[in-house]
Amino acid sequence: MEIGVQSFASRSQPRFATKDAERTHMLQRLAATCRIFGRRGFSEGLLGHITVRDPELADHFWVNPVGVPMHAVRVSHLVQVNHQGQLVLGSGMVNPVGLL
């Protein structure tokens, strides 16, 4: 292992008392991931996207909306969509490329 590189393979997965607690944890990580990608230049203007499946509703997922720069994404910006690309929770436009 390189110095300064942390291995996540040996980490145990966190356990949650409720699906809401799991969702909160997941959304916090998704927003943080967007910010990391944005700061490192892994976004094309305002159109980059990262998605994660909802822990309770297997046919829904969460994504950062179009128009919010990746380096500025917060949990409050994230939106939930279904597999048809319809907005379920949150507000904002979703990049249709991210739904294919």
Q: Do residues 34 and 73 touch, judged by C-beta distance below 8 A?
A: yes
Residues composing the chain: 100
> Look-up: residue for tokens 């967007």?
34
Is the pLDDT assigned to residue 1 strictly greater than 50?
Answer: no
> pLDDT at position 7, please?
54
Mean pLDDT across the stretch 55-82? 93
Q: Which residues contact 59 (CB under 8 A, 6 or more apart)?
A: 82, 83
- The tokens describing 57, both together, are 């509703």
Is 84 strand, coil or helix? coil
- For domain 19-99, give the CATH number: 3.40.225.10
Chain segment 15-37, per-residue pLDDT in tens = 999 999 999 999 999 999 999 99
Say whether pTM exceeds 0.85. Answer: no
Taking residue 11's Cβ as centre, other Cβ atoms within 10 Å add up to 8
- Residue 54 has phi, psi (to 5 degrees) of -65, 140
